């Protein structure tokens, strides 16, 4: 009995220490040589009243009420004013319509111009003939004057002066003007011939029916929630226009996940797009919005970043939520959702503000990496961080030191702290697990979500979607 107690105490006195977590992902402190700055103040995410009320409930299945179907125009050209169908109506074939309209206008102008040119040419010939007849009349009159020299002696000098002036005008000025006019007419005729040739070429090219590899639906709106409420309930590429002062642009709308209305702002799925980009590229956006896989419309999203200017604009229109969905290489899926999400403008370097987490992936944005402790963990919190790229260092890792830049080492633009617990825009590694030897700088630069798979597992897919937050009815 005593022997068993001694063995038990001895075994618990010498419990082996657990292996420490490799915290290279956030650049651990070098004792006494580096200082850490806590998260800088940033505005909280926009909250309060939403832009939308809850969606109206669908009519009962057995309802006797029937609504007459209204045929919506889909021929392009944006000629309709249907509020239900949105403010835009592209189909991808407006170019042909526009060119054919221009052809009709040009042909009309040419038809009007041709008789004018011919009339001008006839007028020139008439003037020329009239001047020659005038010269002949003057010669005959001079003969009469010579025969009646005694009678017309006092008028001879004046007539001769006039004759000399007219002769000079007829022989020199008029022919010169006529030659200039003839040159102008020749140039006009050449332009008409070129226009007719261009019209003929255009007509030949427009013989085939107009097709678009990625047609855009007629339905449009300010964002994907607006499109959903206008009837665009298929997940595919659409045009949105959040602000009427700026031109519309293409986005992918997820209209099926959690009742739809999601605007895809980031997507990684196959590594086909390089996310190691400069500041201006992240500001404007890059990548491939969507693809047609043979169904006649673009229902498959590509890899892309919407652009910080656009993300900021949409998120600042009102309370916005973000959904981050991810998948590992076994097919397992998890998500992280924040009911409050705002990206500030360029003047603040696109500061990130999030709140109200839910999901099963782990709260990286607000808690940082849960496998780290104390200051090491708080360094990985992303909330309140400015956006950084390899040519614009705004992270918390010794700001201003070019040798210590999170974005340069971790492969993409992001709201780095020092440095990350999540790295959705990192380098894409096939298969999931990767090692320091495979990386460029020895850092966890993969597509990482540490609270799910740790630092050294690169996800197969990850996406970020936003939509207006509203209380369900």
On whether residue 152 sits in a domain, the answer given is yes
Percentage, residues of the chain above pLDDT 70: 76
- Overall number of domains in the chain: 2
Sign, Cα dihedral of 229, 234, 235, 238? negative
Final residue in a domain of this structure, among 205, 234, 255: 205
Residues 185 and 144 grouped into a single domain: yes
Least reliable range by pLDDT among 71-75, 174-178, 301-305: 71-75
pLDDT tens per residue across span 410-445: 989 999 998 899 999 999 999 999 999 998 888 899
On whether residue 135 sits in a domain, the answer given is yes
The pLDDT assigned to 291 comes to 82
Residues 149 and 197 grouped into a single domain: yes
Final residue in a domain of this structure, among 175, 205, 235: 205
Residues 281 and 249 grouped into a single domain: yes
The pLDDT assigned to 449 comes to 96
The pLDDT assigned to 313 comes to 95
The pLDDT assigned to 33 comes to 44
The pLDDT assigned to 60 comes to 58
Final residue in a domain of this structure, among 173, 205, 237: 205
Least reliable range by pLDDT among 82-91, 106-115, 441-450: 82-91
pLDDT of residue 76 exceeding 50? no
pLDDT tens per residue across span 1-35: 444 343 343 344 433 333 444 444 555 554 444 55
Residues 287 and 230 grouped into a single domain: yes
pLDDT tens per residue across span 213-236: 677 788 889 999 999 999 999 999
- pTM (2 d.p.): 0.68
- pLDDT band for 65, please (50, 70, 90 cuts): very low
Domain coverage including residue 99: 94-205
pLDDT tens per residue across span 151-210: 666 666 777 777 777 777 777 777 777 888 888 888 888 888 888 888 888 888 777 766
The pLDDT assigned to 72 comes to 47
Q: How many CB atoms lie within 10 A of CB 4?
A: 8
Q: Are 345 and 43 in contact (CB under 8 A)?
A: no
pLDDT of residue 108 exceeding 90? no
More confident residue, 363 or 139: 363
Residues 36 and 123 grouped into a single domain: no
Residues 322 and 370 grouped into a single domain: yes
Residues 412 and 431 grouped into a single domain: yes
On whether residue 82 sits in a domain, the answer given is no
Residues 372 and 464 grouped into a single domain: yes
Residues 257 and 397 grouped into a single domain: yes
Least reliable range by pLDDT among 38-52, 239-253, 363-377: 38-52
On whether residue 263 sits in a domain, the answer given is yes
Residues 201 and 219 grouped into a single domain: no
Q: What is the CATH number of the domain that holds 351?
A: 3.90.215.10
The pLDDT assigned to 149 comes to 67
Residues 143 and 248 grouped into a single domain: no
**CA of 415: how far to CAs of 21, 72, 100, 358, in Å?**
23, 44, 49, 20
On whether residue 210 sits in a domain, the answer given is no
**What is the rounded average pLDDT for all residues in the chain?**
80
The pLDDT assigned to 98 comes to 62
Q: What SS3 string covers the chain?
A: CHHHHHHHHHHHHCCCCCCCCCCHHHCCCCCCCCCCCCCCCCCCCCCCCCCCCCCCCCCCCCCCCCCCCCCCCCCCCCCCCCHHHCCCCCCCCHHHHHHHHHHHHHHHHHHHHHHHHHHHHHHHHHHHHHHHHHHHHHHHHHHHHHHCCCCCHHHHHHHHHHHHHHHHHHHHHHHHHHHHHHHHHHHHHHHHHHHHHHHHHHHHHCCCCCCCCCCCCCCCECCHHHHHHCCCCCCEEEEECCCCCCCCEEEEEECCHHHCCEEEEEEECCCCCCCCCCHHHHHHCEECCEECCCCCCCCEECCEECCHHHHHHHHCCCCEEEEEEEECCCCCEEEEEEEEEEECCHHHCCCEEEEEEEECCCCHHHHCCCCCCCHHHHCCCCCCCCCEECCECCCCCCCCCCCCCHHHHHCCCECCCCCCCEECCCECCCCCECCHHHCCCCCCCECEEHHHHCCCECCCEEEEEEEECCCCC
On whether residue 5 sits in a domain, the answer given is no
Residues 236 and 299 grouped into a single domain: yes
pLDDT tens per residue across span 149-159: 666 666 667 77
Instruction: Report residue 206 CA to chain centroid gap.
Output: 28
Mean pLDDT of 49-63: 68
């Amino acid at each position: 009995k005593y022997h068993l107690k001694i063995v038990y105490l001895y075994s618990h006195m010498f419990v082996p220490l657990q292996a420490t977590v490799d915290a290279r992902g956030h650049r651990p402190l070098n004792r006494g040589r580096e200082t850490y700055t806590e998260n800088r103040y940033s505005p909280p995410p926009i909250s309060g009243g939403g832009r939308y009320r809850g969606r109206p409930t669908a009519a009962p299945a057995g309802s006797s009420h029937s609504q007459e179907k209204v045929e919506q125009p889909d021929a392009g050209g944006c000629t309709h004013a249907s509020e239900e169908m949105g403010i835009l109506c592209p189909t991808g074939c407006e170019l042909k319509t526009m060119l054919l309209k221009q052809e009709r206008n040009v042909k009309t102008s040419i038809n009007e111009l041709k008789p004018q040119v011919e009339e001008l040419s006839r007028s020139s010939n008439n003037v020329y003939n009239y001047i020659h007849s005038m010269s002949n009349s003057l010669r005959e009159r001079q003969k009469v004057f010579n025969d009646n020299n005694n009678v017309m002696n006092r008028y001879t000098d004046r007539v001769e002066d006039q004759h000399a002036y007219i002769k000079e005008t007829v022989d020199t000025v008029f022919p010169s003007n006529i030659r200039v006019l003839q040159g102008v007419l020749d140039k006009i005729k050449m332009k008409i011939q070129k226009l007719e040739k261009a019209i003929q070429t255009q007509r030949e090219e427009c013989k085939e029916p107009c097709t678009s590899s990625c047609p855009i639906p007629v339905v449009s709106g300010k964002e994907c929630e607006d499109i959903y409420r206008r009837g665009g309930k298929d997940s595919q590429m659409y045009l949105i226009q959040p602000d009427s002062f700026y031109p519309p642009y293409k986005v992918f709308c997820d209209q099926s996940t959690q009742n739809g209305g999601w605007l895809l702002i980031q997507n990684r799925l196959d590594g086909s797009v390089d996310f190691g980009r400069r500041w201006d590229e992240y500001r404007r956006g890059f990548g491939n919005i969507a693809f047609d896989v043979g169904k006649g419309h673009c229902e498959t999203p590509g890899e892309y970043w919407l652009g910080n200017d656009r993300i900021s604009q949409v998120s600042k229109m009102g309370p916005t939520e973000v959904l981050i969905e991810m998948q590992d290489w076994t097919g397992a899926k998890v998500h992280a959702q924040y009911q409050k999400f705002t990206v500030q403008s360029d003047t603040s370097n696109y500061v990130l503000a999030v709140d109200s987490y839910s999901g099963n992936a782990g709260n990286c944005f607000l808690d940082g990496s849960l496998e780290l402790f104390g200051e090491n963990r708080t360094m990985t919190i992303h909330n309140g961080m400015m956006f950084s790229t390899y040519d614009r260092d705004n992270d918390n890792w010794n700001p201003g030191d070019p040798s210590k830049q999170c974005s340069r080492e971790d492969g993409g633009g992001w709201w780095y702290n020092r440095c990350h617990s999540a790295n959705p825009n990192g380098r894409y590694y096939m298969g999931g697990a990767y090692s320091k030897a495979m990386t460029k700088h020895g850092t966890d630069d993969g597509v990482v979500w540490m609270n799910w798979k740790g630092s050294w597992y690169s996800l197969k897919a990850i996406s970020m979607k936003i939509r207006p937050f509203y209380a369900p009815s």
